[in-house]
Amino acid sequence: MGECRKLVSLVKRNTKCYFKDKVSFFMSLITPLILLILFVTFLRNVYIESFTSAFPEGFTVDTKLTEGIAGAWLMSSILSVSSVTVAFCSNLVLVDDKINGNINDFNVSPVKPTTISLSYFVSNFFVTFTVLMVAMCIGHIYLGIMGWEISAGNFFMIIVDCVCGILFGTLLAGIVESFISTQGGLSAVATLVSSMYGFLCGAYMPISSFSKGLQSVLGLLPGTYSVGILRNHYMAGYLDALSYAGLPEEGLNAIRDGFDVNLYVFGNKIPLGAMYGILLGACAVLISVYVTIVILKNKKK
């Protein structure tokens, strides 16, 4: 119980240190907010036209439905990307403690090194989850205005999907940033991840728009499936509404294939259950790597 209390205290300390700096919290929200603003101001019509291109000639539906499905596609992109990019940014406390020498004080204190490492991980997970929930609330207000077609079951699964994505992002950030000990290094890595990750996992552009070979390569990356599971649950209600409105199955399948609700690797469709299996399997591998790094660093000390 003693180590548990120490863990809780350290998690509270790390979380307070992060949220104490209001600029850091705002900077974590920058990526999802910029994407949402860009969509509302510039890209909304482009997305809507992309979806309506799958409609047969003469087929029309309420504009709120087309605006809603475009917004839902964007939200799945924002949350899947942010689960990784925010995790890299919100791990600032770990790097700051290295720079300021606080980590040395912790290492000579009567706290196990594994407890210290775990406290950074848990705190980063909690901070990233909080930022994503704020971004989700803002995005869902927009969806509520444009047209809400998300069932209670899918809403619950969206939360589950976010937790899976955050687990992946937090582990990846913890591994990479365990080797960083300067503010400049953290900024460089966070910038690199923020600029590249969305394209690599198919969040900014549908994977179906890439060549077949590149589609298969991207299908080998676990982050792709974080996007895929969110796509399925965000867009399911809107696709059902389009079906009820009379959109033929060919049109529905064109949207599913064209906007990554269906994912294919080497021509084989990946079931939703397999998407979860791949993402959680990657998390299991990252946990093993993270634990190994912690053990090896503690042995050196």
Q: Which of 19-33, 88-102, 274-288 has the highest mean pLDDT?
A: 274-288
Mean pLDDT for the chain? 87
pLDDT tens sequence across 35-89? 788 777 777 888 888 888 888 888 888 888 999 999 999 899 889 989 998 898 8
**Stretch 243-272: mean pLDDT:** 91
Q: How large is the C-alpha radius of gyration of the chain?
A: 21
Burial tier of 142 (Cβ tally within 10 Å: 0-12, 13-18, 19+):
middle
Output the pLDDT for position 163. Answer: 97
Question: Does residue 190 surpass a pLDDT of 90?
Answer: no
Contact, 157 vs 55, CB < 8 A?
no
Quick one: tokens of 1? 């119980």
Closest by Cα among 68, 94, 102, 86 to 135? 86
Contact yes or no for 143/149 (Cβ under 8 A): no
